Structure 1
Amino acid sequence: MPLPPLRTLPVFEAVARLGSFSLAAEELRVSQSAVSHSIKQLEDNLGEALFQRGGHRVVLTEQGRQYLEPVSSGLAQIERASERLRGDGGTELRLAVFSSFAVRWLIPRLPDLQRRHPQLEVMLEMLHEPPALSERLADAFITIQGEHRGFSSDPLYSERLFPICSRRFWQWMCDDLRQAGLIDTDTPEHIEAAWLTRYPLLSASSIIGQPGEDWQVWLAADHCELPGSIRMQHFSHMLMAHAAARYHQGIALTNDYMIDPADDPDMVVLPCYQVGTGDEFRLAYKTSRRNEPGIRMLRQWLRQQAEASGLRLEGERERQTRL
């Protein structure tokens, strides 16, 4: 049976991964009309519509979704085989990871990976939202996505949220709570969730999705509500809410990988409960590549680092409220 026009397959994969003809054209360094022509040529050859067009984005049809996996896998295998023949494969691994996880947890630990596995070169690709898993984007992913056809994954961290503030702000809080008769010690072992609404709260929409929703959900776990008079400052990302907390502007919610109190004496984890978000960070990789040396070394190292740093892994027993 004759093959489809081979030059159209990388174009199809790029459009499917990026969800856009214009973005695919930019990545492939061709015109948008050339991309449209290639897709039409491929669809005519197959006798099937691969995309639904509408607005600025395109969506795969059911036939397109079925076609994407073998095409993406085949292109990646050709790419790796070519690298091996050129003598430049086997030591580089592209890892796609959320920017906050990379900046606050992964990058500080990379020297240990380089020391243990000097032959392995990891190139980081920053993610701003959960990606479509594809070997054309990266060899491995740290993602919160669940099962994906053709991919396996290892659990790294079950996310939980808890409040933090600067040490100066904490001291001021304790003075205020003591004057209000709510505590009788300089360093309380526990404070009530409702007491936090007396102070400015720093909200990050990247945690849950809507401004203020992170605090609404966290307080609801203790049957509390946000009062109408609450002082709340909104940020698009947890990193910015962290920076505001560091500069004594209020109380922010964070998770385990964003802060290590032992290495950050200027910040205080408030003695309150913790709330699980239901998001589980996992290392995802192509199942057919699980025994490749680079993937195997990265899997083992990430698991060891997650355990050593105290991240909560799948199956651990912990008191956690699910959202």
Structure 2
Amino acid sequence: MKLPPLKSLPVFEAVARLNSFSLAAEELAVTQSAVSHQIKQLESYLGEQLFLRTGRSLSLTDEGRQYLEAVTTALIQIERASEQLLGEETSRLRLACFSSFAVRWLVPRLPELQRSHPQLDLSLEMTTENPVLSDRVADAFICINRPHQAFSYELLYQERMFPVCSTEYWERICRELNLDRQEGDDRINLEPAQLARFPLLSTYSIYDRAVGDWNHWFSAAGQVLPKDARVQHFSHMLLALEAARYHQGIVLTNDYMIGNRGDADEFVRLPCLPLATGYQFYFAWKTSRRRERGIQLLRRWLVQEAIADGLRGDADPG
């Protein structure tokens, strides 16, 4: 077995992660010259330049980025295997997921995860966009669709969006539209034109364009958003939902956003057509790390919670 200088690999990973020879030296408790020596030794062995040094600027070469991905995975697997043999029960995992999913659905359920699996030490990395699938970012991910062939995926949710408002605002809608709401009466069916009489709270980030969410919803209903509709714009669904909570209008949101057990009763899902966005939310992990106990514990728990909460049906494919 022909291996590179093994002492150089953690040094290379630290320099690449911290983007600094001096910070890597401080973290590894060695001198900066020792770090430089290890990197030169590794580059000499590989016959490739791993870093570009321009003045005080440091960056990975294309070869360096490719090598870092493999080295990071290998070092993590060595660490996990060693922990298992040493009998260490704690499984440390970094989970990267969308801020909206984390804040509204995952965080309120973390106490249950801790009770069920106290050996799982989970840290969250929140993102505003689909997370980059890389060991450098996290150990596991909640992402939209399946963008990377080197990863395995477990379906959590097929997104659908529907109009929501606060309970107080729903009372106002019923009064202004003269709706006869009897207890248990499910015959009310609001038309798009009726919704357009009220302020519509729009989230830019869903379709990356202004009023994209409501335009799609009206189109799915076979209509066009009226030009005189009152639209209030928000950059993120979390902000739009908060505005709805404070009785400012009607928002398009999805199941996990109103799945927060602490305040779900504050919102009313309006009797309207739902919109299937085509987005699928998956729990993702690197296939080469499929045997790691912590990843599989988290996977099973997330699937169980998604089924129990109605996000995923038992028959949904993985």
Alignment of 1:223-302 (within 5 A): 223-260=222-259, 264-302=264-302
The 8 Å contact of residues 157 and 311 in structure 2, kept in 1 or not, is answered as yes
Quote the Cα distance in structure 2 between the aligned partners of 1:26 and 1:205: 40
Preserved CA contact (<8 Å) 1:261 1:269 = no
1:270 to 1:249, Cα distance in 2 relative to 1, 3 A: same
Rate the CA distance shift 1:156–1:138 in 2: closer, same or farther, 3 A: same
Question: What is aligned with 1:177?
Answer: 177
For the residue of structure 2 that corresponds to 1:154, the secondary structure is: strand
CA distance in 2, matches of 1:201, 1:69: 45
The answer to whether the 8 Å contact 1:99/1:126 transfers is yes
Tell me if structure 2 keeps the 8 A contact 1:155–1:313.
no
Asked if 1:10 is matched to 2:34, the reply is: no
- Structure 2 counterpart of 1:107: 107
Inter-partner Cα distance in structure 1 for 2:65 and 2:278: 27
- What CA distance in whole angstroms lies between the structure 2 residues aligned with 1:49 and 1:10? 11
> 1:258-287: CA deviations, max 9, x gaps?
104986332110101111112111111121
Q: Summarize the Cα distance change of 1:68–1:194 in structure 2 as closer, same or farther, 3 Å threshold.
A: farther
Q: How does 1:8-87 map to 2 (within 5 A)?
A: 9-10=12-13, 14=17, 24-25=19-20, 46-47=47-48, 61=62, 66-80=66-80
Residues 174, 27 of structure 1: alpha-carbon distance in 2 compared, 3 angstrom cutoff? farther
2:288 alignment partner, SS class: helix
1:79 and 1:137, CA in 2 relative to 1: closer, same or farther beyond 3 A? farther
Once the two structures are TM-superposed, the CA of residue 254 in structure 1 deviates from its matched residue by: 0.6
Alignment deviations for residues 120-164 of structure 1 (CA, whole Å, 9 cap, x no partner): 222222222222212232221111141424321100001110000
* 3-state DSSP of counterpart to 1:216: helix
Matched-pair contact (CA < 8 Å) for 2:15–2:24: no
State whether residues 80 and 292 of structure 2, in contact with CA within 8 Å, keep that contact through their aligned partners in structure 1.
Answer: no
Deviation of 1:78 after TM superposition, in Å, equals 4.0
Partners of 1:121 and 1:250 in 2: how far apart? 40
1:48 deviates by: 7.1
How many Å separate the matches in 2 of 1:59 and 1:216? Answer: 43
Structure 2 vs 1, CA of residues 195 and 50 (structure 1 numbering), >3 Å: closer, same or farther? farther
The one-letter code sitting in structure 2 at the alignment partner of 1:310 is: G
> Between Structure 1 and Structure 2, how many residues are aligned?
296
Would the alpha carbon gap of residues 49 and 108 (structure 1) be closer, same or farther in structure 2, given more than 3 Å must change? closer
Distance 1:128 1:165, change over 3 A: same
- Aligned pair 1:143/2:143, yes or no? yes
CA distance in 2, matches of 1:215, 1:27: 51
**Per-residue deviation at 1:7?**
6.3
SS in 1 for 2:226: coil
Residues 288 and 246 of structure 1: CA distance in aligned 2, closer, same or farther (over 3 Å)? same
- Give the C-alpha shift of residue 300 in structure 1: 1.2
- Runs (4+) of structure 1 moved beyond 6 Å? 40-44, 48-51
CA contact (8 A) 2:159 2:254 kept: yes
- Find the counterpart in structure 2 of residue 306 from structure 1: 306
Post-superposition shift, 1:175?
A: 2.1
CA distance in 2, matches of 1:270, 1:26: 57
Pick closer, same or farther for the CA change 1:64–1:89 going to 2, 3 Å. farther
Cα 1:302/1:281, change in 2 over 3 Å: same
Q: How many angstroms apart in 2 are the aligned matches of 1:84 and 1:316?
A: 33
Q: Take 2:180 and 2:150, find their aligned partners in 1: how far apart are those partners?
A: 58
Aligned equivalents of 2:158, 2:141: Cα separation in 1: 16
Check the 8 A contact 1:156/1:314 in 2, yes or no. Answer: no
* Structure 1 letter corresponding to 2:220: A
Stretches of structure 1 lacking an aligned partner (at least 5 in a row) = 15-22, 318-323
SS in structure 1 at match of 2:177: helix
Taking the aligned partners of 1:75 and 1:174, their CA distance within structure 2 comes to 60
Q: CA RMSD in A?
A: 3.7
TM-superposed deviation, 1:216: 1.0
**Distance in 1 between the 2:142 and 2:243 partners?**
27
Aligned to 2:29: none
Rounded to whole Å, the distance in 2 between the matches of 1:219 and 1:118 is 46
TM-score normalised to structure 1 length: 0.76
The secondary structure found in structure 2 opposite 1:198 is: coil
C-alpha distance in structure 2 between counterparts of 1:59 and 1:165, whole Å: 49
